[in-house]
Structure 1
Amino acid sequence: MFFKEVTMKKSLGINLAELKGGEEESEQALAKIYIEKPPDEETLRLKGKLYALISLASADSLKLKDFLDKALEELKIEYYGDTQDNVLKSLERGIKKAYFYVQAEIQAKGILTEGVDFNIVVAILWGNVLYLGQLGLTKVAILREGNLKFIGETEGFSKDIKSETSRVRLSSGLIHEKDFLILGTTQFWEAFPPESIKTYLLGYPLGQAVKLLTEKLGKDQSQALVKNRALVAGLFLNFEFKIFPTQEESLSIITPERLLQSPSRANVLTKLKSLFSLKKVAGLVPVKAGKGLLSSASLPLKANLGKGAAVLRDKARWLKQRLMRFLVIVLPSLKERMQEEEPEVYLKKPATGNPRSFLLLAFLLIVILAVSLFVTLKNKGRAQDHQKFQTLVTKAQENLKESQRVSLSETEKKNKLEEAQSLLSGTSSLNLNQEDGEQLKELKTEIEKGLYKVFSVQEEVVFDLSSIDKNAAPTGLSENEGKLYLLDRIKANLYQVDLVSKKTESFSFNQEEVGKPTLLAVNPQGVFLLSLDRGVSKFSPQTNGFALVIEKDDAWGEVADFDSFYSNLYLLSPSQEQIFKYVPLEAGFSNHLQFLNEPGGADLQKGVALTIDGSVYVLAADGQVFKYAAGKRQDFSLKGFDLGFKKPSRIFTQTDFKEIYILDSEHKGVAIFDKDGNYVKLVQNDGWNNLLDLWVDAKEENLYLLSQTKISKVGLK
């Protein structure tokens, strides 16, 4: 079978050059450039190609090359080893793995890490998307349209700086044609100011520009440069897009070899001496046939068929011809022969056995042909559906990536995501295999997260309650003077966790005096516990003692939540449609005061939680939030949360906060709104099960969450 195929598509071309300050290996300072890719094409397709620049300096003599090579190997294993996680998360883990390896090896040699300077920058190219991970003082610059800026300062790149021990900084963005990307050590940027780099790159071809920069470096004999020459290293990448044929534009011309060899069909073969031209349709390009090219008369009109489809069609036609020839020619001939050769002695017996056998054989052949045609058409349909699916998915992925550009407005991002979602809706009529179905599900989830502003976050466990008591029943979470407090209503314990030292203390109380508290509130005066059988008790951190300060009041009815604002205490009573307020006196507290001028009605009957920033916000079981000020209902509502609440249970804000935080255990996260009620985002973690309460620090930098077994911390910035 002879095939000829022409395809056209775009490809990102990369020109690169390296600049090294010193070729000699030093035992106290070294910088190396690495260009790596995984051994298999599938991992390369999923995780891209890796470009790394690593430098290491030490006051002690070490085999630095071995350190750097091994650090890179640790990075590659971590990054390429997990093809399921996204690029930035894998890259962050890989850089940390390299960092911790160097730290551990240096400490094992008895060398203080304070005297070691380790820096690394890694660039991942995945199509025309660039991902960057940086640790230490390395810098990456991009030269675009005559402007050179460091990544993090240029439009089109997102920046996510982690304030952790390993100081990993992550960035991502789209590469444009004719961009220059420069990875350089600190010493590189000291030797070559940005304006100097720009002048050379714009004035000369890349190879010549780097050669001139290297010569300039060799002539520079300044004391600082001579001392740090081994640390001067830079990697230059220049991008250009090249055009060549794509699969969608392919044209297959198929000429079965057997047609050329069959004399009985020579009359259907013709020589094509002019352009083989077709009316232009999507996916086709005109192709000039070579001199003497032979073709079946039936094939040129089907030039838009793929190779597989044409082969299967030809096979089916061949089977049909053979069967018809058998039925028309062979069967009658066999029947006549049987009748001629049959002895007269057997004329008394029915001579029906052999013809029936042949009819049965013919029937079986027809069935086989029908099944073959059915399978052929089914496979053809699946192949076409798979091709349509891949086209829709590719376009949807492109829109998803575009939506992640920080330069886009919220409206533009939403439009891109809605377009991606619309493209995927076109897959509903396709017959997909299991692999395509799983890919579709994952992509839909990712698009929905972008559309609904859902952010998956990583947690840090601040307090593991299960390590102390697996049967604990925690409730209530609050903070005072750098200490978190949580209540264990079953064990009659109050836990105190120091946020700085992570030290944990437990204070037991007498349930005969305090009752069985279920709610917790904290203010500068102390920690207050509310029990429906005794009232409100106060725990004093100064004396570590508990004392009843407000007797139980039958007027409370059902109490859904309990909070404090300055020194005042507030109780939410849905059954009484009221918020009760207590004001501190010289000795104890006042009698209960009704905060609302009139009962809150049906709205307050649905209340499950409250929070106070001067105004009082009441969260209802259906996710509505009602705002009250000076005892009156205010015009306020939540807007833009298209996902909708499933099981909202806690609400939190403070006076100087810009945002309101609402816990939803079914969403496994916290929905965040501004003070005007506009939806901002949803932070979630699939491992957050049985969330009970939340608290946010005064700068709105960290979110603390209480679950059945632990207190977790999540960065909000």
Structure 2
Amino acid sequence: MLKKLTAKVQQLNPVVEDSVNGFAKSFIIEPESQDLLLKKGSLYVVFDISGNTRFEVGLISNVVHDMLHDAYYQSDNISPIQSLEKAITEVRDRVTQLANESIIIERQEIDFNIVAGALWGNVMYVVQYGSSKSYLMRTGDIRPISTTSEGNFSAASGVVKDDDVIIFSTNEFAKDFPPDRLLTVAIPESQLAQNQACLLMKFIIDTNFTQNEIVDFGNEAIKIKKDTPKVITNAGKIFSKIKIPSFKHKKRVETVKPVTEIGLKLKVQGKLKFKIQYIIPVLALALGISIFATLQNRKAKSAINNQTGTTTQQAESEVVAMDETIKPEEQPDNTAFYELKLTDPQIQPTEIAVFSDSIVVVDDTTGKLYTSARATPKFTAGTQTYPGIRNLLNIKGQIGFTDNQGYKVLKTSDLSVAEDYKTTELGVTSAYADFVYTIKDGKVTRFAKESNKLTGSLWGQNQDMAEAKSFGISYSLFILKNDGNVVKYTSGEKNSFALSGENPKLNNPAQILADVDFDYVYVADSGNKRVVSFDKNGKIMKEYKADREDKWNDIKSIGVSPDEKTLYVLTGTRIYETAL
């Protein structure tokens, strides 16, 4: 009988500073839904990174975690090994790009190693990139997992059994803490070097998983070397206090009635049966009558329209991408998403931010904050006010902004305050990783969050920063100046950068919007009554305008959905929506 296993897990991570020249990390990645859990399993990861520079620990860790999650669980490949290899490749490329282009670290070569395992049913699939260690303990014997290598990648897969223990670690961890020592002594994380991390997994039968939900993934055994270290008897003590996550699964049964006859028959009062060939003439006659009636009705409507002087016009879309040719009948109906005066006749909206399921608008004169679902637009005002509210941000799905008291983060679910930092040092503000960046008095300052306060350090200073109107961060810093020009800084140095392409000149732009997850950077070009998108090199990709210039004659702010598929434009007191 096939079984699903779950794992008791112990993570050993070093205690490191926010910025170091190398570090290691272990973590577990779970999918958002039970459906994905059944289809793709859970991920167990250990990685280390080093180089002749300093790395932002929070930023690198978030990039590795989030990219592995997205690349693996969004992959259509049915092979866990291939899905993991593709995900790790994307992580490696992004981390390398981050090392060479980030505003935080200097241009350097890096050493990146990772081992990741996907527990899928009762099978563990292991992929390693670079140098890492992996071990299997079964019935007291500990043996390295033998992998098949191809280039920098190596892989293995096999059935895991009840009470098995698998260990992932960095090379430096394995040198000081070999498996036999690891499973017999307690290791405080404070004793770990910054390049030492480990993940221990003990597998047990998941009793909440029913036989009907099992998919057979095969019985390929894990290959092990012949040499056998000494038997370990105390391994179970390490896991005795670890809680086991459990999931309740519901059976999903679909019933499909098979078609047993090719000929179609109609049953009347349980007795008479008519074959399809007898019905066709009747249907044809009914169809002919229907068409004749429809034509007569259209003629009558046309006569009425001619008498009253009215004409029937085909609806036009509100917004079109100017570099695309769209036939009228193919244009979407992009009417105004919402008129905010329906919520508050006195509203003077100043900024907009877009989230996965909601939209937030603020009024800096009253300090009010308004929210609406994206699916069913209807804005309501929050109960609290924040005088001087500005710099509205999407902070990993939460609402970030500055006000007269400092910097706050609210939960989108109930608008309760999740973070509150009192300071008077903030100007034009954005956020990147777990840091808050602000431009004030010609200086860019990076603030780290420590307890309930922000601790700042100077990042850069020059005339461009003194003229900043808005800025966004996507590895590099994109600054929109008061004169309408955009400048770019990477690793603290100014890049050779200028907008190019068709109509690159901006006219009184209101806002620039950038995000590490976006392919493009967006500018609300108010004076030209448009929104433009450009790539990281400055090439304008698209221009968005309303079908009538008077509709977008007061662009104040823009927002882009997290999936970068929808643009929202705040103009006057209206919000317009269009596909990107």
| TM beyond 0.5 | no
Structure with more of its chain in strand, by fraction: 2
Q: Of Structure 1 and Structure 2, which has the larger fraction of its residues in helix? A: 1
Q: TM-score, normalised by structure 2?
A: 0.44
- The TM-score normalised by the length of structure 1 is 0.36
